[in-house]
Amino acid sequence: MRLLLVEHDARLRSLCRQAARATWPDATVTGHPPDTNGPLPPEFLAQGFDAVVLGESWPGGEGLGWLQDLASRPGFAPVVFLVEDIDGEVARLARIHGAFGVLSRADVGTQRFTDVLREASRIRQSALADWRVSEAGRAARLFGAVRIPGYRCVRRIPGGTVAQLFVAESEKLGSLVAVKVTPSMHDELGNDAAFERFLQEYDIGRQLHHPNIVLSHELGIADDHAYLVMEYFPDGDLRRRMQAGFTVEEALVIAIQISRALQALHKAGTLHRDLKPGNVLMRGPHRVALSDFGLAKRVEQDLEITDPGVIFGTPHYMSPEQSHGESIDVRSDIYSLGILLYEMLTGERPFTDHNPMAILYKHRNAPVPRLPESQRLLQPLLERLLAKRPEDRIADAHEADRALYEVLLQVKGLAA
């Protein structure tokens, strides 16, 4: 038994859990307080759940509107609607709007509550079994030309040259996820470079468990393609967030979070090497998670995933030493952090040109641009982050975190 509880009352959610586990000891019960978690994504069909228990109302919201939306989604899980008055108008409307069952809050924990859930589960599992073998069900599991069981493809996310990225719904997780798919590419020794990159990215996401690093869920092979299942970020990446602009304080808060993700990454002995706005994902407008570790490098790693001497990364965000194919350390990621901070503050990249090689030249030779007069307090910090020589740069992510936080306190002091 798997239940999704859309109910703001923590006590009632607890009662639902107890009631479900009394009958099904291994039941999985997921809470979704609607007043804090917000609406369920429009693509979400609750395929990983036997039933959804939906409350009548909460501060700032009405369950009937949610019921109309959820019940109208083809293939959505049965919705059990909880009301205060089983004989009232809301209960009558809930039946009209498509509730599988309408119960009073007092029914939670009774045999009636259990019976309704059991019947909802029976109908749900039968419907899913029919759907999986249907033409629509088979088509829904196609990610490009690759069929991945256990996931329903919602849509492809534009972009990407080697890997394709999709939004999907996971039956196992009961949530939307991002799925990255790429063809297997074997070298002359039979090694699969695509799988090795995905394996590295998967390991980093699984092992670090850091609030500012994307979470990896599953790694696999299907139809001679490697796929990686990751946390999904409906708010997009830092590039999209930049379109709305940042206050100085907001930019510093984001930069601090990135520095803390780098601390965890560097402590684990790994360099990111491709820090850019597209690899910083948004958990809402003010929280971020670092992603895309396919080009990351283990500091003590003997075997490179990339060919020796190859310059890779994104020219606008590469340190001078990285852009010239020289040896790099954690200070190269610190330089990229400085580029991101400058872009958040000004809306522009510090070094631009139509010719990528000219951009690389500017990273090594052009002076650090001056911030606007209103942001002059941050210029010394920016100079230290973007120093041309690694030895003149902020030494590591811990020091960068401290320096950013000190400037943030000064900015807040001036604002106060």
Rounded to whole angstroms, the Cα distance separating 207 from 184 reads 24
Q: Give Cβ neighbours of residue 34 (< 8 Å, ≥ 6 apart).
A: 6, 7, 8, 55, 58, 61, 66
pLDDT tens for each residue of 244-257: 999 999 999 999 99
pLDDT at 207: 83
pLDDT at 344 over 50: yes
With tokens 């990686």, the residue in question is: 228
pLDDT at 313 over 50: yes
Better-predicted residue by pLDDT, 295 or 178:
178
pLDDT at 250: 97
Q: Give Cβ neighbours of residue 2 (< 8 Å, ≥ 6 apart).
A: 27, 28, 29, 30, 48, 49, 50, 174
Which of the four pLDDT bands, split at 50, 70 and 90, describes residue 218? very high
Tokens of 50: 């036997």
Q: Which residues are catalytic?
A: 274
SS3 for the chain, per residue?
CEEEEECCCHHHHHHHHHHHHHHCCCCEEEECCHHHHCCCCCCCCCCCCCEEEEECEECCEEHHHHHHHHHCCCCCCCEEEEECCCCCHHHHHHHHCCCCEEEEHHHCCCHHHHHHHHHHHHHHHHHHHHHHHCHHHHHHCEECCEECCCEEEEEEECCCCCCEEEEEEECCCCEEEEEEEEECCECCCCCEHHHHHHHHHHHHHHHHCCCCECCEEEEEEECCEEEEEEECCCCCEHHHHHCCCCCHHHHHHHHHHHHHHHHHHHHCCEECCCCCHHHEEECCCCCEEECCCCCCEECCCCCCCCCCCCCCCCHHHCCHHHHCCCCCCHHHHHHHHHHHHHHHHHCCCCCCCCCHHHHHHHHHHCCCCCCCHHHHHHHHHHHHHCCCCHHHCCCCHHHHHHHHHHHHHHHHHHHC
pLDDT tens for each residue of 69-97: 999 999 999 999 999 999 999 999 999 99
Rounded to whole angstroms, the Cα distance separating 24 from 131 reads 25
Rounded to whole angstroms, the Cα distance separating 317 from 170 reads 34
Which of the four pLDDT bands, split at 50, 70 and 90, describes residue 292? confident
pLDDT at 312: 53
pLDDT tens for each residue of 51-62: 999 999 999 999
pLDDT tens for each residue of 221-275: 888 888 999 999 999 999 999 999 999 999 999 999 999 999 999 998 999 989 9
pLDDT at 258: 98
pLDDT at 57: 94
Q: What percent of the chain has pLDDT over 70?
A: 92
Which of the four pLDDT bands, split at 50, 70 and 90, describes residue 40? very high
Closest CA to 247 of 286, 280, 289: 286
Q: What's the whole-number average pLDDT of the chain?
A: 91
CB 104 within 8 A of CB 83: yes
Which domains are present in the chain? 2-133 (3.40.50.2300), 139-231 (3.30.200.20), 238-415 (1.10.510.10)
Which of the four pLDDT bands, split at 50, 70 and 90, describes residue 325? confident
